[in-house]
Structure 1
Amino acid sequence: MGANTGMVTGTAGREVAMTRVGGRWRVTRPWPPLLRPFVHSYAGYWEAAVTPYRVRLVPTGRAVVVVNLGEPFTQVRRLGHDPSPNSQVTGSLVAGLEDGPRVCDHPGGQEAIRLELTPLGAYRLFALPMSELTNRVVGLCDVLGPEAAVLAERLAATTDWGARFDLLDTALSARIARGPDPAPEVSHAWQLLSRTGGAIAIGRIAAEVGWSQGHLVRRFTEQVGLTPKMSARVLRFHRAARLLTREGVNLTEVTEICGFYDQAHLNREFRALAETTPGRMAVTRVTEGALAL
């Protein structure tokens, strides 16, 4: 698929970048300094052609917000699970941290804004225990309240992406500013896991933050959404998946760099967390945690 890139200017004076890949446009703009510790990625999407598609979302160690401005998903469900009430959340939505894959079906004609949040950024934005959202997808208004519906309506009412991002920046900044602060020990524990790609012993983390392992597990799980051990597995998997997209990288190198015992261990983790293989991940286009199916 070919890609074309153009630039326009938003109302705040920051540049909006528009990149076309196939029939889909990806629209981005740098987010304000206040949001940078909490937001990992931030993009709008719209499709020129109405083409149905299915993607598999794999664990990334991030929470996701999708503000739907056009056609909604027809289904969002955990892979390998029977359809549940959660699978019917197809409009604007929030997804907590995952320890397994999820499949999303879309009829085509998508227009939406998608944010990836750090777990502790999501904790501040949502103002509730992240453990309540683990492996769940819920409606945006169920988490952020009626103001989320008003914001979505205002975003849909303008076709100018710079103005859309201005509205979103203002709403996110205000809510994060009044959100709860995570425990400093949990913040430090997450930083240690993130910096090492999950390659650090949980006992060492507990010792460094000055908590018992049991207390660390309880508080960390409440505010991040996954246990420290599962977070380490997800971060290690995500690092390996990124490395596999690089030219010339082989499985032996990925196994050693990411701290897997051997390639059999690497294969087991890819099967457990994404229901795929490292080889398939290497040849499949992966965009923001999604594999085209």
Structure 2
Amino acid sequence: MVPTDTLHVTRHTSALGSMETVFAPPHPALATLIGPYCGYHEQLIAPLRRREVATPSITLIIGFAPLRVWSPHAPGYAPGPTTSFVAGLHDGPAIVEHDGYQSGVQIDLTPLGAYRLLGLPLGELGHRVVHLDDLPGWDVRELTDRLVSAPHWAARFAYLDEILLDRLDRGPEPSPEVTRCWDLLAAGAGRIGITELARETGWSRRHLGARFRETVGLPPKAVARVLRFGHALALLDGADPPRSWADVAIEAGYYDQAHFNRDFKALAGCTPSVYLGSRLAGGGFEG
């Protein structure tokens, strides 16, 4: 059982509705592969449309109510209405829509964690959303029934530990070369060249790109771009008082502010000013 004192609960109520989120750390054996479990319950007075920016993680949603996820930048990123799905790495924003009610669990997996836990090469998930039912070895009906019928969030998260630990025992191991490349990219927030990565593995750039994409979902250059963008978001969100765009661009590893602005628009679907204004307003980041 997940100790109740490790749960972190937040609640927000306004004229538009209510939102509850419950976070808890996974089992220690999973801690380097996935982020905290996030249970959520959202009840609004009107349908919601929210833009989600590109991130360097694979999102697994086990939902208790239908929603729709799509992207104007990726034709394969549109499974239709779904409850439980996996969203692979993508280098553009996605749109999430629901009718005003949403509840379930979100798990953010590292690419190497997803490779070990999901049961398929992540090259099949790049720029795509896939129904969890369509992935090998997932019984979504039983999984959802167990989560819904659990008496509380601690029990739900303990059951997810059980499921994921079993999959970890049976899952594949990524190659040491791909693991090394991911570690270098993540440690440097994308600020490392592909030539240097190839030299670290002893592979050609072409072979590195193919193997990395098969395991992670996108080629190294695209992943580096998303990681650099994520570092820029962290600098923006954590700055008090706000930092200049030029300072953020330089520290995040962009050539100049124009390069920063182009990448930001491509990966977030809006300008840095619009993004930051939405975050400071405390509301959902809507498209």
Asked if the contact 1:89/1:137 (under 8 Å) is kept, the reply is: no
Q: 1:279 corresponds to which residue?
A: 273
Greater mean alpha carbon deviation, residues 216-225 or residues 85-94: 85-94
2:43 pairs with 1:52: no
**Match runs of 1:24-103 below 5 Å:** 24-69=19-64, 71-73=65-67, 75-79=68-72, 86-103=78-95
1:182-228, CA deviations, whole angstroms, 9 ceiling, x for partnerless residues? 00110110010011110111111111122221111111000000100
1:217-248, CA deviations, whole angstroms, 9 ceiling, x for partnerless residues? 11100000010000011111111122112222
RMSD: 2.0
1:71-124, CA deviations, whole angstroms, 9 ceiling, x for partnerless residues? 211x21112567x79340421111111111111111122111001000010011
For the structure 1 residues 34 and 160, does the alpha-carbon distance in structure 2 shift closer, same or farther, using more than 3 Å as the test? same
1:107-149, CA deviations, whole angstroms, 9 ceiling, x for partnerless residues? 1221110010000100111121101011111111111445232
What's the TM-score once normalised by structure 2's chain length?
Answer: 0.91
Aligned-partner SS, 1:99: coil
**Match runs of 1:139-218 below 5 Å:** 139-218=131-210
Q: Using the alignment, how far apart are the partners of 2:269 and 2:44 within structure 1?
A: 30
> Which residues of structure 1 form unaligned runs of 5+?
1-9
For the structure 1 residues 34 and 251, does the alpha-carbon distance in structure 2 shift closer, same or farther, using more than 3 Å as the test? same
Q: Using the alignment, how far apart are the partners of 1:13 and 1:85 within structure 2?
A: 37
- The structure 1 segments of at least 4 consecutive aligned residues displaced by more than 6 Å after TM superposition are none
Q: What is the CA-CA distance between 1:49 and the residue it aligns to?
A: 4.5
Q: Using the alignment, how far apart are the partners of 1:126 and 1:284 within structure 2?
A: 33
2:254 pairs with 1:263: no
For the structure 1 residues 21 and 250, does the alpha-carbon distance in structure 2 shift closer, same or farther, using more than 3 Å as the test? farther
Q: Using the alignment, how far apart are the partners of 2:98 and 2:4 within structure 1?
A: 34
Asked if the contact 1:244/1:250 (under 8 Å) is kept, the reply is: no
For the structure 1 residues 263 and 31, does the alpha-carbon distance in structure 2 shift closer, same or farther, using more than 3 Å as the test? same
Q: 2:10 corresponds to which residue?
A: 19
For the structure 1 residues 51 and 17, does the alpha-carbon distance in structure 2 shift closer, same or farther, using more than 3 Å as the test? farther
Asked if the contact 1:35/1:173 (under 8 Å) is kept, the reply is: yes
Q: Using the alignment, how far apart are the partners of 2:21 and 2:253 within structure 1?
A: 34
For the structure 1 residues 41 and 162, does the alpha-carbon distance in structure 2 shift closer, same or farther, using more than 3 Å as the test? closer
> Which residues of structure 2 form unaligned runs of 5+?
none
Percentage of matched positions with identical amino acids: 40
Asked if the contact 1:50/1:107 (under 8 Å) is kept, the reply is: no
1:19-53, CA deviations, whole angstroms, 9 ceiling, x for partnerless residues? 11331111011211110110023200012545421
Q: Using the alignment, how far apart are the partners of 1:159 and 1:283 within structure 2?
A: 39
Q: Using the alignment, how far apart are the partners of 1:158 and 1:46 within structure 2?
A: 15
What's the TM-score once normalised by structure 1's chain length?
Answer: 0.89
Q: Using the alignment, how far apart are the partners of 1:29 and 1:79 within structure 2?
A: 33
Q: What is the CA-CA distance between 1:14 and the residue it aligns to?
A: 5.1
Q: Using the alignment, how far apart are the partners of 1:65 and 1:229 within structure 2?
A: 24
Q: Using the alignment, how far apart are the partners of 1:168 and 1:240 within structure 2?
A: 32
